[in-house]
Amino acid sequence: MTTTSATDNPARGALYILAAAAAFSLMGVLVKLAGQGLPNEMLVFLRNAFALLFMLPWLLRIRLGALKTRALRLHLLRAATGLAAMYCLFIAIQQIPLAEAMLLNQTAALFIPFIALAWLGETFGVRIFIALLIGFTGVGFILKPGPALLTNPAALIGLASGLLAALSMVTIRRNARTEPPARIVFYFCVLGTIGSAVPLLWAWQTPTLLQWLIMLGAGGLATAGQLLVTKGYASAPPAQVGPFAYASVLFAALAGWLIWGEVPDGWSALGALLIISGGALAMRRRMLRLAVAKPAAMGDAPLPPGEAS
């Protein structure tokens, strides 16, 4: 059973997660719009820089002594995998329908059990394995293996964003054994912004005023999504509210249809249903198993697209 308390409010938690999903979907819309005139390196840097700007008042409240760490390598790994996932996601957003890009990023929930097994020794049972099998069957319907996939590998890049996001989340879980959440957030914000600034040495392009404003909005939405996710998982057990993160795919599908006329074919729609079903089932079963041993750590709960990346 999921560990609950008298202060848990699943309805409120679900609303927070739904709001976070909407925020990250809108961020995807803005990234897709800005990407029509800016290179991917600029998109990733501006998203990180503006998110850091919005979080700066909170980060400055952290005492200097609380930033001392003996886990710098894990912080670097978290930043590297998170950044790589973001680069892959933003490439996918530009080249395939927005909903498919968001959905492939959400496959992180399918990869996490395998990474946690190999790295942290966290086993999973037959029910989780069946759920994962359902989810990966859906991935096959989305990718549609064949010659076309090799000539336009954007969907594979989107899937890579899910794998990298999963590695980033498991890194958070491993780091949370010794590091407080505030320190983990601080190092990711700072290292992510610095790391994404390096490619600007050869890829800088001065944005227009409109592009500045669009990416300012993307950074603001990313920050809002992070805060809403935190409130959501603080309001109820992740096993209860985590699956609502998949609403980001529905929001993205609606936005893609309204703005770009993106309509998924039948196979993609079936694949989306299988991925969401398998991912939500695997997520819920894993959260229930973890809750038996101890309350969920920071890296346990899956996040909407763009947060883990």
Q: What is the pLDDT of residues 136-161, one digit of tens each?
A: 999 988 887 777 676 678 899 999 99
Is 298 a residue whose pLDDT tops 50? no
Q: Look at 62 and 99; give whichever has higher pLDDT.
A: 99
Q: 299: closest CA among 168, 185, 115? A: 168
Q: Cβ neighbours of residue 99 under 8 Å, at least 6 residues apart?
A: 249, 250, 252, 253, 256, 262, 264, 272
- Residue 298 is assigned to a structural domain of this protein: no
- Residue 110 is assigned to a structural domain of this protein: yes
> Is 133 within 8 Å of 61 (Cβ atoms)?
no
From 94-108, 109-123, 279-293, the region with the lowest mean pLDDT: 279-293
- Residue 4 is assigned to a structural domain of this protein: no
- The predicted model scores a pTM of 0.88
- Residue 5 is assigned to a structural domain of this protein: no
Q: Look at 159 and 173; give whichever has higher pLDDT.
A: 159
Domain carrying residue 268: 10-293
Burial readout 261-285 (b: 16 or more C-beta within 10 A, e: otherwise): ebebeeebeebbebbbbbbbbbbbb
pLDDT tens figures, 210-266: 999 999 999 999 999 888 887 887 787 776 777 888 888 899 999 999 999 998 888
Quote the number of domains for the chain: 1
- Residue 53 is assigned to a structural domain of this protein: yes
- Residue 302 is assigned to a structural domain of this protein: no
pLDDT tens figures, 73-105: 999 999 999 999 999 999 999 999 999 999 999
- Residue 309 is assigned to a structural domain of this protein: no
pLDDT value for 182: 81
Q: How far is CA 49 from CA 44, 86, 188, 223, 303, in A?
A: 9, 13, 12, 11, 20
- Residue 305 is assigned to a structural domain of this protein: no
